[in-house]
Amino acid sequence: MTDALLVIDVQESFRVRESWNEVSNPDVAEDVGLLVDAARAAGQAVIWVLHAEPGSDTPFDPESGHVRLIDGLAPRDGEPVLTKTSRNAFTTTNLQQRLTTLGVRRVIICGIQTEQCCETTARLAADLGYDVDFVTDAMATFPIRHRDPADPRVLSTADIIERTEYALAGRFATIRTVKELTTA
């Protein structure tokens, strides 16, 4: 097996936050589901990753009950569900060891948040020597308000996605689409 689909943080924690009303892709779980089905059909590994912030008293605190996959997504027997406490999927999990054991050479990344956990994972994966496919239409993100609360500027989700694609393409990843990866 040389390919693995990494499903990053497609979890209920995001859907219960008020910011979900501004999400770039409210159908992210359906898009991810298409990639999962295609990966399984191709015999690729599917690895699920969740983000947790224990003791934070937020939707990312495991005690909240929201640190679980979005309804409609479910791992099959043998598909690991890793829980991370860092932005990237490697540092606080055994993801690299799992990929090495499986003989994975290419990772396909989808999930939530495009410019945070997904991008950070892609950059680290590239640094570790993996080929990376970054599937932005199977991702979601949220507008980013300026760091100064007095500044009314907001970076739109379209601008975030475009910036992320520009930063990664040809350096850390190949930008791919759900259609490219699900059409035989």
CATH code for the domain of 177: 3.40.50.850
Say how far apart CA 50 and CA 7 lie, in whole Å. 9
pTM over 0.85: yes
pLDDT in tens, 71-111: 999 999 999 999 999 999 999 999 999 999 999 999 999 99
The total number of structural domains that make up the chain: 1
Does the N-terminal peptide bond of residue 113 adopt cis geometry, omega within 30 degrees of 0? yes
Is the confidence at residue 1, as pLDDT, over 80? no
Residue 183 is predicted with a pLDDT of 87
Contact, 33 vs 72, CB < 8 A?
yes
Contact, 23 vs 14, CB < 8 A?
yes
Please return the burial class of 123, using the count of CB atoms within 10 Å of its CB with bins 0-12, 13-18 and 19+: middle
Give the structural domain span for 122.
3-182
